[in-house]
Amino acid sequence: MTTRKALAERNDHALLQAARDVLAEDGAHASVAAIAARAGVGIGSLYRRYKTKEELFQRLSLLSLEHWNDVAEQGLASPDPWAGLASFVQGCVEFGQGSLAPVAGTIEVTQEMSVKARLGDELLERLIRRAHEAGVLRTDVAAVDISLLIEQLGRSPMIDQLRKQGRDDLLPAATEARRRLITIVLDGLRPGPVPLPGSPPGEELFTGRWSH
Amino acid sequence: MTTRKALAERNDHALLQAARDVLAEDGAHASVAAIAARAGVGIGSLYRRYKTKEELFQRLSLLSLEHWNDVAEQGLASPDPWAGLASFVQGCVEFGQGSLAPVAGTIEVTQEMSVKARLGDELLERLIRRAHEAGVLRTDVAAVDISLLIEQLGRSPMIDQLRKQGRDDLLPAATEARRRLITIVLDGLRPGPVPLPGSPPGEELFTGRWSH
DNA sequence: TTCGAAGCGGAGCGAATCGCTCCGCTAGTT
DNA sequence: AACTAGCGGAGCGATTCGCTCCGCTTCGAA
C-alpha cells in the first residue's frame, strides 16, 4: 500500500511544514524536538534527512525563496499590472515568508540562496515598474517598501499566540481580521486623490531583503 | 553627586528599556541575564527590584498599556479627527507595542492590567468613531483592524535582526524605510476614490487585543 | 512463508543555558 | 572614621538544547 518512498516523501513534507509552524510560534527558540513532534515524526527520522538543524533551515530558506520567485512570475504573467502585484504580495504574505526572519541571520547563506534572492529582487522590480507605468501604484512606493510590507505582514504574532494557547475557537475570526487588514493595506497602495509628497525611491544601501 | 535614589531610578529606567529591546530581539526566549547585561546592571540589582522575571514583564505590560492610553488621550485632544487617530497609531507603533506579544500569553494578567486594557479599547473606539463621523476614515475599517495594524507594524523583525548582527550602518536606512511604510499604510486608511465593499465592522468574539 | 535489512521512533548523552540565590565589596551617609 | 545600603557577579540545581545510537517494526525479495 504505502511504499517506503511515498512515506518518506510525506514525512519530509510534514517536517518542512512543521518547521514553518514551529518557527512562527517559537521564533529563534524553535527546537528540533518540537519540529519533529509537530510533524509526527521521530527525531531520528529528521536527522536522517538533514544532517544538522542548520541544514533543515537552509532547505526551508531555499524553498521560501523559490516560492517568492514562483509567485512573482505568476504575477508577471497576469495581464493586469495591479492584479499581478497584489496577488504576489498576498501570495508571499499568506505563505508566511516572515517566519524565517528569526533564523535568517543565524544560518550560512549558500550561493544558491543568494542567486535566487537576486532573481527575486529583479522580478519584484519588474512588477513594481510595470505597475508604476500603468499608473496603478502610488509613485512614492518603491520595491523596498513592498519587501518591508511583506516581512511585516508575513508574520502574525497574535495568531501564533492564539494557536499556541490552543484557542482554536478564536482562530477563524483572527485569520479573517488579518485578511481584511491585508486587503485594506493593499488597497492603500493604489494612487489616491491626495498623494502625500514622499521621499524619492532611491536609498541603495538597504534593499529590504534578508539574504544577500 | 549621584545620590543612591537617583542611581536606582536611572537603573530601573534602563532595565525597562533594556527589557523592551531584548524582548524585541529575542522574543519569548529573552533571558533575565541578557536584559540585565543590556541595561549595564548586575543581575542582583534586577532581582532586588523585581522578585521574579514575571513581575518584570507584568510591569512592562502595565507601562505599555498606560502608554497606549496616554497616546490615545492625546489623540482625542487633537481637534483634527484624522490627525488624532494617525498620531495615536504612530505613537503606539514607534513605542514598540508589539514587542510584548511573545510574553503576553505567558504572564498572569493582573486586575489593573485588564482595567487599563478595557479603558484603552474604549478610547480607541472613540477615536475611530470620531474619524468615521468626520468622514476621514474608510468606513470598512473597525477598531479591531487598527489594533491588528498596531500589532503588525509594532515589531520590526528586520531592524531587530540588523541590530542583533551589529549592522548599525544599515540601521538608519532601514528605520527610515519603515517610517515611510507606516505613513504609506496610514495614508491608505483614508477614504479613497474607489472603496471596496468591506465586511461589516462587527465580529464581536475577537477584539484584537492581547490581554483580556 | 521466511528472513535480511531499510528505516522508524525515542531514550539518553554531554554541553549549554535557564531563573534565581547569596555574598564580598564598593561607595554614599552620618 | 565607622556604618551599612545597595551594587555586581560567581555559582547553584534544574531544565533544555542539538545530536547519537540502538532496538524494534515492517516492507519486499526469495
Q: List, as one string, the DSSP characters of B14-62.
A: HHHHHHHHHHHHHGGG--HHHHHHHHT--HHHHHHH-SSHHHHHHHHHH
Report the amino acid identity of residue B26.
D
The predicted pLDDT at position A87 comes to 97
What is the 3-state secondary structure of A77-96?
HCCCHHHHHHHHHHHHHHHC
Q: What DSSP line would sit under B85-140, residue for residue?
A: HHHHHHHHHHHTGGGGHHHHTTS---HHHHHHHHHHHHHHHHHHHHHHHHT-S-TT
b or e along A22-37 (b: 16 or more beta carbons within 10 Å of the residue's beta carbon)? bbbbbbbbbebebbbe
Question: Per-residue pLDDT for A59 more than 50?
Answer: yes
- N residues, chain B: 212
Q: Which nucleotide is nearest to B47 (CA to C1')?
A: C20
Q: How far is B67 from chain A (nearest CA, A)?
A: 20
- A205 or B37, greater pLDDT: B37
Angle at B88 between CA B75 and CA B127, to 5 degrees: 55
**For C10, which residue's CA is nearest its C1'?**
A42
pLDDT digits (tens, 9 = 90+) for B72-127: 999 999 999 999 999 999 999 999 888 888 888 889 999 999 999 999 999 999 99
Q: Map out the domains of chain A with their CATH numbers.
A: 1-49 (1.10.10), 58-188 (1.10.357)
Of the partner residues B102, B193, B203, the one whose CB lies closest to the CB of residue A173 = B203
A12 touches strand C (CB under 7 A): no
Cell of B33: 541575564
Chain mean position to CA B148: 11
**What is the residue whose three cell numbers read 511544514?**
A17
Judge residue B195's burial from the number of C-beta atoms within 10 Å of its C-beta, 0-12 exposed, 13-18 middle, 19 or more buried.
exposed
Q: Which nucleotide is nearest to A49 (CA to C1')?
A: C7
Rounded mean pLDDT, A142-150? 94
**For C17, which residue's CA is nearest its C1'?**
B31
Rounded mean pLDDT, A123-148? 96
**Assembly ipTM:** 0.84
Give A117's contacts (C-beta < 8 A, 6+ positions apart). Answer: A65, A209, A211, A212
The predicted pLDDT at position B210 comes to 59
Of the partner residues A28, A141, A184, the one whose CB lies closest to the CB of residue B141 = A184
Output the distance from A100 CA to C8 C1' rounded to whole Å: 29
Q: Which nucleotide is nearest to A48 (CA to C1')?
A: C7
**For C22, which residue's CA is nearest its C1'?**
B44
The predicted pLDDT at position A99 comes to 86
The predicted pLDDT at position A198 comes to 40
**What is the residue whose three cell numbers read 527575486?**
A120
Question: Per-residue pLDDT for B163 more than 90?
Answer: no
Return the residue of A nearest to B23 by Cα: A27
Spatial separation of the C-alpha atoms in residues B105 and B111, rounded to whole Å: 15
Spatial separation of the C-alpha atoms in residues B65 and B104, rounded to whole Å: 12
Cβ distance B106 to B58 under 8 Å?
no
- A124 or B174, greater pLDDT: A124
Question: CA gyration radius for chain B?
Answer: 19
Asked if B101's CB is within 8 angstroms of A177's CB, the reply is no
Phi-psi region of A107 (alpha: psi -120 to 50; beta: other; left: phi over 0): beta
Asked if A176's CB is within 8 angstroms of B203's CB, the reply is yes
The predicted pLDDT at position B57 comes to 97
Q: Residue B158 — pLDDT band, cuts 50, 70, 90? A: confident
Question: Per-residue pLDDT for A199 more than 50?
Answer: no
Q: Which nucleotide is nearest to A45 (CA to C1')?
A: C8
Cα torsion for B116, B121, B123, B129, to the nearest 10°?
-170
Return the residue of B nearest to A103 by Cα: B161
Return the residue of A nearest to B199 by Cα: A180
Q: How far is A58 from chain B (nearest CA, A)?
A: 17
Chain A neighbors of B207, CB-CB under 8 A? none
Output the distance from B4 CA to D1 C1' rounded to whole Å: 21
Asked if B144's CB is within 8 angstroms of A206's CB, the reply is no
Output the distance from A42 CA to C2 C1' rounded to whole Å: 29
